[in-house]
């Protein structure tokens, strides 16, 4: 079987993209609060049920013609009745309980008229003469005389009311009580034949004329759909449930809940209607099922339209092999209902804003068709309202659920703007019809995506991370106090101008690997808020790009009350120059956006001495980091060794030996990680020897980096050139002479390297 395909969801009020050629052949209903179509729900339940077709006792048993049935009359009675009523107006004549085959054509005045089917077509004298017959099968012709469609007209008023009450509004062919006509192939009459039978027998028990007309209609329905009824009953009652494509529509009455797999997820949809689907060459390729499911648009919970493609197939196929199956006919219907209900309740709990853990594939709809997939491993913010506001290309509007009849507030009247609000719970059936995804933002890959509900997990906060942060206790306490005060709900000290200066700006300056980024991470864990990390390169290198990117990022972080970390922010903080207009514009943009930011902002930099003067007054707390002391490195070694899953075999003296190495915090973390991998590969516990082995490699690398001309890997032992500090010591004038009076540093290094190579060569000759 070809896979199920789903076209793009169509927002209500927007024109839907129809296939090349369509014909509506079904009925739309509302059941249990889920709207199958845009019209209101009739009072009578309309979902077809698989009860046996029964024939009333007073229905004639004579075998009728397949398309025309009449009550028994003699030819003479018929002729006499026709002669007596010939000159009377239709309303004064007796209605004939029979089916009449007619044509509907247009005259020279472009007015339509009804006429009997014969070779010599004449326009009748009386316009409404055809209403004398209880039922008329009428072929409609267009203005060019070509056959357009065939319709069944029902003329008795009691039967019109019955059809209106039971069937109601049919998509593209609604039942009008004053003019009931059903377009071929009359699928509505098939789907609601059992409801019509039950209601008609009860309603016309004391009205013999209407009962006779009703029985004639039901006989016609049973004869017209004789083969379809047999195939349907065999499929739903047989041990092996199978059906042909030509009869598959019999399993899809309006309001039917169907099951299919979308993105490898179990999904349930309620069928509104179906129609034939053709390709560009007018070849039938299957049926399009217009369905609805329940979704959340960031403001309301309601139904959203979707289209499923039921592919054409040959022969009789078991239902278990079909991609789309009515849920009640599925071989594991109970298990699927249980799965859908559990997921729906979880979906319901994630309305509004929720910060969760997600480790799976996330998707987003492409512009044309299909989905783009992204691997996400990290924390995400579920927030459909912000998704619609900042990812407008993927926005939609749901159709509100019908109001509840109870006094309780309707689910459709509840609005979700930010946090989860109290609302009327979904019914079990509504919960099964919910979407398999929720919309939000991934902090890992910086994209708005759809996340599978089943893969959402609560975050395990590291509440003790602040204790492990190696930082001066006074500074640590100050940071905790500031962020705690800023995250409280009650308003605190404000600026003279409302909305200005409400953020908390912290500048972390110092050498790399001393804990600047870790401080921001610990703050986010401490206040249990999202951490949005961005580098200066992500914000663009043009002032217009910076303005747009920074404004959107600060909008998101303020909405989610997140902690924002801008790493390596030197380019935005550097002092403005008179002739560098480009950088001046970027600094000005950053200053303006920073002034009105309401969240917590951390800026890291290594060049605090070049700060622009305007930034100094906008910083709430500057934190200076220095190279790690022996005690700090010892504590960092203890912290990371304590995080090894299998533990370590190192005593206090061993940790002190490790702390003697000139490594920063990030290098210590990398060393522990590498040594742990080495120990795992050897199948032993992490010990001092492997840590020393890794730190030795790191030390050699650091020594190579500190050399001037790099390492000569062709020399014996890979000897490196003279270190840079030796160069500066031997030639101090190179460091302090004015720039215009000395060659460039590159030229200086090249000259010194050449002199060094000559000296090394002479030494090599003297000492072979």
DSSP secondary structure letters along 74-134 = -HHHHHHHHHHTTTS-GGGSPPEEEEEEEEEEE-TTS-EEEEES-SS----SSTTGGGGEE
Kindly indicate the confidence band of residue 666, based on its pLDDT and cuts at 50, 70 and 90.
confident
pLDDT tens for each residue of 263-314: 999 999 999 999 999 998 999 999 999 999 999 999 889 999 999 999 999 9
Kindly indicate the confidence band of residue 571, based on its pLDDT and cuts at 50, 70 and 90.
confident
pLDDT in the model for residue 258: 97
What are the structure tokens assigned to 491, written together?
Answer: 């308003």
pLDDT tens for each residue of 180-195: 778 888 898 999 999 9
- Domain ranges, ordered by start, for the chain: 5-26+239-332, 75-231, 343-457, 470-623, 630-705, 724-766
Rounded-to-integer distance, Cα 598 and Cα 183, Å: 62
What are the structure tokens assigned to 363, written together?
Answer: 């998707």
Contact 283, 75 (CB under 8 A): no
pLDDT at 564 over 90: yes
pLDDT in the model for residue 159: 92
Alpha carbon 337 to chain centroid, angstroms: 22
Least confident of 102-106, 393-397, 480-484: 102-106
Rounded-to-integer distance, Cα 212 and Cα 200, Å: 11
Strand pairing of 447-452 and 301-311?
unpaired
- State if pTM tops 0.85: no
Residue 707 DSSP class: B
pLDDT in the model for residue 208: 92
pLDDT in the model for residue 266: 96
- Please name the residues in contact with 182: beta carbons below 8 A apart, sequence gap of 6 or more: 151, 152, 154, 163, 170, 173, 175, 188, 189
Rounded-to-integer distance, Cα 31 and Cα 256, Å: 9
Distances (CA, A) of 552 to 557, 569, 588, 652, 753: 9, 17, 17, 49, 50
Contact 155, 135 (CB under 8 A): yes
Termini Cα distance of the chain: 80
Rounded-to-integer distance, Cα 382 and Cα 192, Å: 43
Return the exposure string of 454-479: e unless at least 16 CB atoms fall within 10 Å of the residue's CB, then b. bbbeeeeeeeebbebbbbeeeebeeb
Kindly indicate the confidence band of residue 48, based on its pLDDT and cuts at 50, 70 and 90.
very low
Contact 510, 606 (CB under 8 A): yes
For residues 578-595, give the mean pLDDT: 79
Rounded-to-integer distance, Cα 595 and Cα 505, Å: 10
pLDDT tens for each residue of 691-704: 898 888 887 777 77
What are the structure tokens assigned to 727, written together?
Answer: 């160069």
Contact 207, 158 (CB under 8 A): yes
pLDDT tens for each residue of 132-144: 888 888 888 787 7
pLDDT at 453 over 50: yes
Higher pLDDT, 578 or 490: 578
Contact 148, 200 (CB under 8 A): no
pLDDT in the model for residue 54: 41
CA atoms within 13 A on the CB side of 287: 23
pLDDT at 474 over 70: yes
Kindly indicate the confidence band of residue 646, based on its pLDDT and cuts at 50, 70 and 90.
confident
CATH 3.90.1570.10 fits 470-623, yes or no: no
- Which residue, 495, 498, 525, is CA-closest to 600? 525
pLDDT tens for each residue of 331-388: 999 999 999 999 999 999 999 999 999 999 999 998 777 899 999 999 999 999 999 9
pLDDT over 70 for what percent of the chain? 69
pLDDT in the model for residue 18: 42
Kindly indicate the confidence band of residue 740, based on its pLDDT and cuts at 50, 70 and 90.
very low
- Which residue, 49, 4, 9, is CA-closest to 261? 4
Mapping DSSP onto H, E and C, the string for 96-110 reads EEEEEEEEEEECCCC
CA atoms within 13 A on the CB side of 191: 29
pLDDT in the model for residue 243: 95
Rounded-to-integer distance, Cα 193 and Cα 203, Å: 15
Fold (CATH) for 630-705: Helicase, Ruva Protein; domain 3 (1.10.8)
Identify the sign of the CA torsion 463, 468, 473, 475: negative
């Amino acid at each position: 079987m070809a896979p199920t395909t789903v076209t793009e969801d169509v927002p209500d009020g927007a024109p839907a993209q129809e296939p090349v050629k369509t014909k509506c052949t079904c009925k739309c209903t509302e059941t249990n609060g889920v709207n199958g179509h845009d019209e209101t729900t009739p009072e009578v339940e309309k979902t077809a049920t698989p009860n046996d077709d029964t024939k009333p006792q007073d229905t004639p048993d004579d075998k009728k013609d397949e398309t025309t049935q009449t009550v028994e009359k003699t030819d003479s009675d018929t002729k006499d009745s026709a002669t007596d009523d010939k000159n009377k107006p239709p309303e004064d004549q007796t209605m004939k309980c029979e089916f009449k085959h007619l044509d509907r054509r247009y005259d020279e005045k472009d007015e339509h008229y009804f006429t009997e089917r014969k070779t010599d077509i004449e326009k009748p004298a009386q316009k409404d003469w055809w209403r004398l017959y209880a039922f008329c099968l009428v072929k409609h012709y267009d203005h060019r005389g070509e056959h357009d469609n065939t319709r069944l007209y029902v003329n008795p008023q009691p039967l019109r009311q019955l059809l209106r009450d039971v069937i109601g509004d049919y998509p593209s062919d609604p039942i009008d009580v004053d003019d009931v006509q059903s377009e071929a192939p009359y699928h509505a009459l098939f789907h609601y034949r059992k409801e019509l039978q039950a209601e008609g027998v009860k309603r016309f028990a004391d009205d013999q004329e209407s009962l006779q007309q009703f029985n004639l209609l039901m006989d016609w329905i049973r004869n017209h759909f004789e083969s379809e009824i047999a195939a349907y009953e065999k499929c739903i009652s047989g041990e092996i449930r199978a059906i042909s494509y030509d009869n598959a529509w019999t399993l899809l009455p309006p309001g039917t809940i169907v099951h299919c797999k979308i993105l490898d997820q179990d999904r349930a949809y309620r069928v509104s209607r179906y129609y034939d689907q053709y390709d560009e060459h007018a070849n039938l390729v299957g049926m399009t099922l217009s369905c609805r499911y329940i979704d959340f648009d960031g403001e309301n919970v309601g139904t959203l339209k979707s289209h499923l493609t039921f592919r054409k197939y040959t022969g009789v196929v078991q239902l278990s092999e079909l991609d789309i199956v009515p849920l009640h006919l599925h071989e594991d219907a109970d298990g699927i209902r249980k799965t859908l209900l559990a997921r729906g309740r979880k979906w319901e709990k994630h309305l509004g804003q929720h910060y969760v853990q997600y480790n799976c594939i996330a998707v987003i709809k492409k512009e044309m068709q299909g989905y783009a997939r992204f691997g996400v491993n990290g924390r995400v913010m579920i927030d459909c309202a912000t998704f619609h506001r900042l990812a407008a290309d993927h926005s939609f509007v749901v159709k509100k659920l019908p109001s509840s009849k109870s006094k309780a507030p309707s689910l459709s009247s509840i609005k979700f703007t930010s946090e989860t609000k109290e609302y009327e719970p979904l019914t079990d059936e509504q919960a099964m019809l919910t979407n398999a995804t929720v919309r939000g933002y991934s902090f890992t890959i910086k994209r708005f995506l759809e996340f599978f509900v089943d893969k959402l997990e609560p975050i395990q906060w590291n509440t003790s991370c602040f204790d492990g942060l190696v930082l001066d206790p006074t500074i640590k306490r100050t940071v905790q106090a500031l962020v705690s005060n800023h995250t409280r709900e009650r308003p605190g000290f404000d600026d003279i101008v409302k909305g200005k200066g409400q953020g908390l700006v912290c500048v972390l300056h110092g050498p790399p690997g001393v804990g600047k980024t870790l401080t921001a991470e610990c703050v986010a864990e401490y206040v249990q808020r999202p951490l949005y990390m961005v580098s200066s390169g992500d914000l663009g290198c043009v002032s217009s790009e910076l303005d747009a990117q920074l404004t959107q990022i600060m909008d998101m972080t303020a909405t989610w009350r997140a902690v924002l970390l801008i790493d390596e922010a030197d380019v935005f903080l550097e002092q403005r120059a008179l002739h560098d207009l480009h950088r001046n514009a970027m600094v000005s943009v950053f200053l303006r956006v920073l002034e009105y930011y309401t969240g917590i902002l951390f800026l890291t930099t290594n060049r605090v001495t070049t700060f622009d003067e305007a930034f100094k007054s906008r910083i709430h707390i500057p934190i200076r980091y220095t190279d790690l002391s022996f005690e700090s490195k010892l504590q960092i070694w203890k912290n990371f060794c304590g995080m090894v899953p299998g533990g370590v075999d190192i005593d206090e003296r061993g940790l002190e030996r490790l702390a003697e190495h000139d490594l920063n915090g990030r290098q210590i973390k990398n060393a522990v990680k590498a040594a742990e991998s080495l120990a795992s590969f050897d199948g032993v516990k992490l010990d001092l020897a492997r840590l020393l082995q890794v730190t030795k490699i790191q030390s050699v690398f650091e020594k190579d980096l500190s050399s001037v001309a790099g390492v000569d890997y062709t020399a014996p032992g890979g000897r490196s050139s003279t270190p840079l500090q030796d160069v500066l010591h031997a030639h101090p004038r190179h460091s302090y002479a004015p720039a215009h009076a000395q060659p460039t540093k590159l030229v200086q290094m090249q000259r010194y390297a050449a002199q060094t190579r000559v000296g090394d060569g002479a030494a090599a000759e003297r000492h072979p």
